Amino acid sequence: HGKDLIKDLKSELSGNMEELILALFMPPTYYDAWSLRNAMKGAGTQERVLIEILCTRTNQEIREIVRCYQSEFGQDLEKDIRSDTSGHFERLLVSMCQGNRDENQNVNHQLAQEDAQRLYQAGEGRLGTDESCFNMILATRSFPQLKATVEAYSRVANRDLLSSVAREFSGNVERGLKTILQCALNRPAFFAERLYYSMKGAGTDDSTLVRIVVTRSEIDLVQIKQTFSQMYQKTLGTMIASDTSGDYRKLLLAIVGQ
C-alpha cells in the first residue's frame, strides 16, 4: 500500500512540496534506494548523490538499500553502478556497495601507522598513483581507524591526507574519497557543508536540501545544526528561512526544529 500512497501523493502535489512530502512518507531505506535509482535513471548521472549516500551509510544501511533496490525496482544496484560509472570511481562505489567496512570501533594505532605509510607510498611518495591502495584502505577500515590513519599520515607525509587526495585524484573519485575521510573526521561537518552549498548563491538545490534534512532528521541532525552554526556563523534554520517560502519553508523548519 506504500506504493499506492506515494502514487496518490504525486498526483496531489507538485514541485518542492511534492519532493518533501514524498521523502517524509518513504521509509529511510526505500528513500535512499529511490534516490540512487533517480540519480542513475535516464540521461546523465547525479554522481554527487551516489557519493553522498554510498560513502556515508553504515554496513547495515547499505545492505538494506541493496536489498530494497532489488525488491522495489527489480534491478541490481551494483550492476546499475557499473553501467552508469567507470574507472576508479566505479571501483570505489562497487566497494561501497559491498557493505564490508570493518565495524570494530577499537583503534589499532600500529595499523594506522602502516596504512599511513602505504597511502604515502601509493601517492605522494611515488610517480603516479596506486589507486587500488587508496580504495582498499578507505573502503574497508572503520571510521575511527581512518581517523587515526589521517592523524598518522600527517606525521608520515608532513601533509594533510585530504590535500594529498586532492593532489593525486580529480573529479568524482576525489569527491568520493574525500567524503569517506570527512565522515571519518567529522560526519556532521560533511552534511553541514552539503546543506550550505545546496542553498548558497543563486537558486536552491532542493533535492539535496530535502534529502539531507529528512534522512538525517532522526540520526544526527542536532549535531549537523550545531556544526552548521559553528562553520557558517548562522543557523541552518535562518538559511532555510531566507532560501525557501510558503508551506515548503514551514515544513522544513518544523523538521529542523526552528
CB burial readout 121-148, b (16+ within 10 A) else e: ebbbeeeebbbeebbebbbebbbbbbbb
Distance, in Å, from the CA atom of 19 to the CA atom of 42, rounded to the nearest integer, reads: 18
Note the pLDDT tens digit of each residue in 157-215. 999 999 999 999 999 999 999 999 999 999 999 999 999 999 998 788 999 999 999 99
User: Count of domains in the chain?
Assistant: 2
The C-alpha cell that represents 111 in the structure block: 595499523
Distance, in Å, from the CA atom of 103 to the CA atom of 143, rounded to the nearest integer, reads: 8
- Terminal Cα distance for the chain, rounded: 32
Position 11 pLDDT exceeds 80: no
The answer to whether residue 113 is domain-embedded is: yes
Distance, in Å, from the CA atom of 156 to the CA atom of 123, rounded to the nearest integer, reads: 12
CB 161 within 8 A of CB 149: yes
Phi, psi (deg, nearest 5) at residue 64: -70, -40
Q: Which residues have C-beta within 8 Å of that of residue 18, sequence separation ≥ 6?
A: 9, 10
Same domain, 30 and 93: yes
Same domain, 6 and 88: yes
Q: Which domain holds residue 117?
A: 101-169
Same domain, 18 and 55: yes
Position 220 pLDDT exceeds 70: yes
Same domain, 6 and 50: yes
The answer to whether residue 218 is domain-embedded is: no
pTM: 0.91
Q: 126, 143, 169: which is the final residue of a domain?
A: 169
Q: Which residues have C-beta within 8 Å of that of residue 68, sequence separation ≥ 6?
A: 29, 30, 32, 33
Q: 148, 169, 190: which is the final residue of a domain?
A: 169
Same domain, 38 and 88: yes
Question: At 15, is the pLDDT very low, low, confident or very high (cuts 50, 70, 90)?
Answer: confident
Closest CA to 56 of 150, 184, 174, 170: 184
**Helix intervals (H) in 102-245:** 109-122, 131-140, 143-157, 161-168, 171-199, 206-216, 221-232, 236-243
CATH code for the domain of 135: 1.10.220.10
Question: At 48, is the pLDDT very low, low, confident or very high (cuts 50, 70, 90)?
Answer: very high
The answer to whether residue 128 is domain-embedded is: yes
Distance, in Å, from the CA atom of 59 to the CA atom of 140, rounded to the nearest integer, reads: 10
Q: 119, 150, 169: which is the final residue of a domain?
A: 169
CB 110 within 8 A of CB 196: no
